[in-house]
Amino acid sequence: ETGVTQSPTHLIKTRGQQVTLRCSSQSGHNTVSWYQQALGQGPQFIFQYYREEENGRGNFPPRFSGLQFPNYSSELNVNALELDDSALYLCASSSVGTMDTQYFGPGTRLTVL
C-alpha cells in the first residue's frame, strides 16, 4: 500500500511568483486536505477536496486555490507569493467521513525570498 506522497520536497520562490505543490493520496482514499505549518506552529487547515469539489475551506485568501483530479491526487496553487507564505505545506488523505483518519505526507517546504 502506497502512502501519501508530495512533491517537490523543497522549493524556493521570490515574492510575487506563483507556485504549484502536488500530492498523491493513499490508495483507496477519495478526500485530500491541505494544511500550512509555519515554523514553530501547528498546522492550519487550508481546504479540503472530495470528488474533485472543494469541501470546506479555512481562513486563507483566494490566492490559495486547489484542484483534485479523477485519480484523487491534488494540487495546491498559491499566486502572488508573500514572505509569510514560507512554511511547510502538508497534504493529508482520507476516506469520506468525519471519523476517518487523515494520513499525512512528508510535506513540501516552501521558502519565499
Chain contacts with other proteins (rule: CB under 8 A): 4, 31, 33, 35, 40-45, 47-48, 50, 55-58, 90, 92, 94, 97-107
To other proteins, the closest distance from the beta carbon of 104 in angstroms equals 4
Asked if residue 71 lies in contact with residue 3, where contact means CB atoms within 8 angstroms, the answer is: no
12 vs 80, which CB is nearer to other proteins? 12
Decide whether 42 or 70 has the Cβ nearer to other proteins: 42
* Whole-angstrom distance, CA of residue 107 vs CA of residue 10: 9
Length of the chain: 113
Grid cell locating 19:
507556485
Whole-number minimum distance, CB 44 to other proteins, in Å?
7
- With vertex at residue 31, the alpha carbon angle to CA 41 and CA 99, rounded to the nearest 5 degrees, is 75
Q: Report d(CA 94, CA 101) in Å as an integer.
A: 6
Nearest to 89 by CA among 98, 77, 73: 77
CB 89 to other proteins: min, Å: 11
The smaller minimum CB distance to other proteins, of residues 36 and 81, is found at 36
Cβ at position 15, least distance to other proteins in Å: 26
